[in-house]
Amino acid sequence: MDNRAIGMFDSGIGGITVLKEVKNLLPNEEIIYLGDTKRFPYGSKSKDTIIEISRQCIKFLISKNVKLIIIACGTATSQSLETLKEEFNIPIIGIIEPTVRYIKESVKNERERIGVIATSGTIRSGQWEKKIKEEVKNAQIINEEAPLLATMAEQGWISNKVAEYTIKEYMKCFKNIDKLVLGCTHYPLFEELIREELKNNTEIINTGTKVAEFIKKYIKDMNIQNDESNKEYKIYLTDLDNNFNEIAERLLDDNLKTKIEKAEI
Active-site residue flag, 73: yes
By CB under 8 A, tell whether 166 contacts a second copy.
Answer: yes
By CB under 8 A, tell whether 62 contacts a second copy.
Answer: no
Per-residue b or e along 32-62, where b marks 16 or more CB atoms closer than 10 Å to that residue's CB: bbbbbbbbbbbbebeeeebbebbebbbebbe
Active-site hit among 6, 92, 123, 184: 184
Select from 49, 56, 243, 245 the one that contacts a second copy (CB under 8 A): 49
Select from 41, 74, 94, 121 the one that contacts a second copy (CB under 8 A): 41
By CB under 8 A, tell whether 131 contacts a second copy.
Answer: no
State phi, psi for 7 to the nearest 5 degrees. Answer: -100, 145
Query: In this chain, which stretch among 2-10, 132-140, 143-151, 200-208 interacts with a second copy, using CB under 8 A?
Result: 143-151
3-state SS string for 156-216: CCCCCHHHHHHHHHHHHHHCCCCEEEECCCCHHHHHHHHHHHHCCCCEEEEHHHHHHHHHH
How far, in Å, CA of 18 to CA of 71, rounded? Answer: 10
Complex with a second copy: residue 88 or 165, whichever CB lies closer? 165
Q: How far is the CB of 133 from a second copy (least distance, A)?
A: 22
Active-site residue flag, 173: no
Chain residues that interact with a second copy, rule: CB under 8 A:
39-41, 44-46, 49, 147-148, 151-152, 154-155, 157, 160-162, 165-166, 168-169
Query: Catalytic residue numbers?
Result: 73, 184
